[in-house]
Amino acid sequence: MSKYILISHALCPYVQRAAISLIEKGLAFERVDIDLANKPDWFLQISPLGKTPVLVVNGKAVFESAVICEYLDETTLSKMHPEKALERAMHRSWIEFASATLNSIAGFYNATDERTLAIKIAELQGRLSILENHLGAGPYFAGENFSLVDAAFAPVFRYFEVFEQIADFAFFAYLPKLTAWRSALQKRASVRSAAHENYVALLLEFLRARGSALSRRMQ
């Protein structure tokens, strides 16, 4: 059996993607958290991009979350990608959309003033509306089967659990299918287990320290 070590940062949503995949597949793994503000030399040797996650498999490093999840799906049972090539390609496209949504989230919490914050709120609302229009009956992205797209979007939705503690931004207003999907993901054991046990407190601390418009609302 392979030995898996997941190199992690406590707040990294991309780490959560990899952790969800590992948990869904019932694979035992060790999780090692690092400080991305003070990256250890050994980490830089195995992560040329200097980012988390990195999955060390039998001493060999695989980096980038999408690559890690694809590798796990290719080498283990209980496939999380569709069987048909075109459907797999479409799922990969939506995983990329999840990454773009994470970039919009970063723009939201880093917005320096209220005007920019309003622009970023509208940008996020637009992305969420696109998702709403694509979703089917659920409960997951592609119906009954939990997929790598679900693993990619679960960490996206986790941010909103914290944003909603700060203010009512109405991100999910009039988005019933997205609300139901988000709820189904929140209940999934792998999703609950993927985040750091102090995730909410750590994220709130991170957001307060940004010096952004959102930080000022928290005060």
Q: What positions carry a catalytic annotation?
A: 12
What span, in angstroms and rounded, lies between the C-alpha atoms of 17 and 71? Answer: 13
Q: What does the block give as tokens for 15?
A: 């780490």
Question: Could you check whether the bond before residue 13 is cis, i.e. omega within 30 degrees of 0?
Answer: no
Report the b/e string of 22-50 with b at 16+ CB within 10 A: bbbbeeebebeebeeeeeeeebeeebeee
159 dihedral zone (left: phi>0; alpha: psi -120 to 50; beta): alpha
| 17 and 25 Cβ atoms separated by less than 8 Å | no
| 98 and 153 Cβ atoms separated by less than 8 Å | yes
Q: What does the block give as tokens for 45?
A: 């040797």
